[in-house]
Structure 1
Amino acid sequence: MKIIISDNNDSFTHNLAHLVFRTSGFKPEVMPWTELTAARAAEADHLFISPGPGCPAEYPLYSFIKDITAHVTGICLGMQILNEIHGGTTTRAPLPVHGKTDVIEWQGGSRRVARYHSLYCGKVASCFDIESANADGLPMIIRHKTNPFTGFQFHPESFLTENGGEFIAYALGK
């Protein structure tokens, strides 16, 4: 399986690469987001869009994503990018949250997850289902209705997230 992680200049990217490897058994290729092209993305079985600073508008090179056939997982900023290229919007969160845990309900159980963000998907694109939201109603997990695209607003790769590999395995279809 060929896995690419598009690095949006985030300090968590290599934690993500380690978790993806530990979960899948495949070593992902990490590349700067500025080097990702539609052709490179087409080589992947699975593409991860990493967390990063700023907002989706600062990363215009991702517009081709909605037309690729690879599985795509967006984490934090990556989820916001997936949402925006499909017609959703990104909004400033009521309160910025950095390095805090939150509890979400997902697949019949409670999960403790790590949040590091000041923006969120204010309007989720109609092609996505919200699989989990936090107690304040902020979308934490979205899944495309027909394509293999998943978004996590929180950080599965953070040590603060319980069983982060479970989320990565879900995104990978395991």
Structure 2
Amino acid sequence: MKPSVLLVDNHDSFTYNLAGILEESGLCKLKVCFNDQLRMGMMKSCDKILFSPGPGIPKEYPQMREIIERFGASKSILGICLGHQAIVESLGGSLFRLNKVMHGSRQQIQLSEPLDPLFLGLPKRFHVGLYHSWAANPSNLPSSLHVTVTGRDGIIMGISHDSMDLKGLQFHPESYMTEYGHKMISNWLKSK
């Protein structure tokens, strides 16, 4: 049976790319909802939740924190860019502002957890598209999170929770600049 996915739209144009990948995969039943129109009851009918990218910083989107706190232990949640940052902050970590804004940049990243289900079948290094000016602070990353991907200069590009199905990607798998982006989304949809 196909999992039902709720794509939380943080008012970002990249949400359309994510929705397209999800629909084209044929691996899920998709519902898209703007973050400010969410009702917590919607979470009960979905199997997986995908937080889209968005402008600003996570504290401007309290809905993501509430979803993580209430449903992180029972739902599979993947956060992209802003969503990744929301997972970090919700669990007690912090962000820092990058010296150089990474909007429309392409960079090679390295998997530190190649056996993570999200990265099955991927090479250890590949290129990704970056669109962010904030990143997870490695000095106080919550102990429940481990780094799955790093970028140049050691920037955290991916995280996974030790006991819950919470994953975050700082880069954009939906960007045309990202290699294997569709594969990562497909892997997430297929994971239990």
- Please give the TM-score of this superposition, normalised by the length of structure 1: 0.93
Determine which of 134, 158, 162 is the counterpart of 1:141.
158
Aligned residues: 174
> SS at 1:117's partner residue?
strand
Runs of 4+ residues over 6 Å off in structure 1: none
In structure 2, the residue matched to 1:117 is 132
Q: Distance in 1 between matches of 2:187 and 2:169?
A: 11
Match of 2:84 among 65, 79, 85: 79
Range 93-102 or range 6-15, more displaced:
93-102
**Secondary structure of the structure 2 residue equivalent to 1:82:** helix
Q: Determine helix, strand or coil for the equivalent of 1:28.
A: strand
Q: CA deviation at 1:40?
A: 1.1
Tell me how far 1:167 sits from its aligned partner. Answer: 1.6
Q: Are the aligned partners of 2:28 and 2:189 in contact in 1 as well (CA < 8 Å)?
A: no
Q: Within 1, Cα distance between the matches of 2:70 and 2:26?
A: 25
RMSD over equivalenced CA pairs, Å: 1.4
- Deviations 1:91-142 (CA, angstroms, capped at 9, x unpaired): 1112110111111112252111000000111142221110111121111010
Q: Is the 8 A contact 1:144 1:150 kept in 2?
A: yes
Residue 90 (structure 2) pairs with residue 88 (structure 1):
no
Shift of 1:23: 3.2
2:63 aligned counterpart, secondary structure: helix
* Among candidates 174, 180, 183, match of residue 157 of structure 1: 174
What secondary structure does 2:59 align onto?
A: helix
Q: Give the secondary structure class of the aligned counterpart of 1:98.
A: strand
Q: Given that residues 21 and 28 in structure 1 are in contact (C-alpha distance below 8 angstroms), is that contact kept between their aligned partners in structure 2?
A: yes
Question: Does the 8 Å contact 1:42/1:70 carry over to 2?
Answer: no
Q: Which of the two has greater helix per residue?
A: 2
Unaligned runs of 5+ in 1: none
The one-letter code matched in structure 2 to 1:66 is E
Higher strand proportion (structure 1 or 2): 1
Counterparts of 2:98 and 2:18, CA distance in 1: 24
Query: Residue 66 of structure 1 aligns with which residue?
Result: 69
Equivalences for 1:12-91 in 2 at 5 Å?
Answer: 12-64=14-66, 65-68=68-71, 69-91=74-96
Counterpart code for 1:159: Y
State the Cα distance separating 1:168 from its structure 2 match: 1.2
